[in-house]
Structure 1
């Protein structure tokens, strides 16, 4: 059974804010009895197991009371977005300026669609990325070098590249 996630998102956001957390993302996967609702939460100092546990209890109770997830049984998973988190909102790119990112574009940029490099800046809907700082030699060879500017609207998907 398909349903709009608007109510789930609103409740998830409200519970996150009341706990000093940020709702990073949510997704519903699967169908029927094998549905899984994944909610990703974050905070500046990082998420603890206790944060996830507390959030899970509170949000699950509200979902049940408000019948926010119709269609019977589902599995609720709460976690951090992870070190390789997806970036999909302008504020995500602003927050992670200076970090290594990998992304793909809808349209070709300098003959390529897949890139990795350091996010130098994000302003006025434009990502500036230094390709010379790619961690993969193969990637650096295929994507070119230098600095590119890509419109946020051209970014199909993006994520952080963990640095150790």
Structure 2
């Protein structure tokens, strides 16, 4: 059974990333002209600041230098986080997105934009914003019913404390 380069790299690098308290979210090797780029996306429940990214980048670079996992040619290592509008694909992604506004796509039943209030093993408690002056409602959905989910960027979101001060 043959494995792809990405799978071999995942097996090599995932334990090292986990030892740094991070999760390996994505790994990809892309060709950019004559050069190759190894993109590694990491995250954790508490996020990953620039210092943590730099530390894991140095550790990954050293590990790759001592193996031939990337072969003989030149490559660039890029380590980063998933970004603001990340796709939610794993249970831990939904837990980490608690409090965030998410665009959901459900199999056969359409689309919904709602805020994740709580995520557990069975599903999600969502707050669906009210329309035309109506109050927000809550809704429970099963994770199995979610076909796609992507965090939405909110530029003018008011925190709960600010809303209470205005009331």
* TM-score normalised by length of structure 1: 0.68
Q: Which runs of 4+ in 1 moved over 6 A?
A: none
**Superposed displacement of residue 119, structure 1:** 1.4
Most deviating of 13-22 and 85-94: 13-22
Structure with larger RCO (C-alpha < 8 A, sep 6+): 1
Residue of 116, 129, 133 corresponding to 1:132: 129
Secondary structure, in 3 states, of the residue corresponding to 2:87? Answer: coil
C-alpha distance after superposition, 1:94-113 (max 9, x if no partner): 232232112333x222xx1x
Q: For 2:141 and 2:30, how far apart are their aligned partners in 1?
A: 31
Cα 1:102–1:57 shift into 2, 3 Å: same
Q: Gaps (5+ residues) in structure 1?
A: 134-139
Does the aligned pair in 2 maintain the 1:21–1:43 contact within 8 Å? yes
Computed over aligned residues only, the root mean square deviation of the Cα atoms, in angstroms, reads: 3.2
Does the aligned pair in 1 maintain the 2:91–2:121 contact within 8 Å? no
Does the aligned pair in 2 maintain the 1:23–1:40 contact within 8 Å? yes
C-alpha distance after superposition, 1:3-57 (max 9, x if no partner): 2422322333222233233323333344773443221223455433332222222
> Which residue of the partner structure matches residue 114 of structure 2?
117
> Which residue of the partner structure matches residue 14 of structure 1?
15
> Which residue of the partner structure matches residue 102 of structure 1?
103
Secondary structure, in 3 states, of the residue corresponding to 1:14? Answer: helix
Cα 1:26–1:86 shift into 2, 3 Å: farther
* TM-score normalised by length of structure 2: 0.68
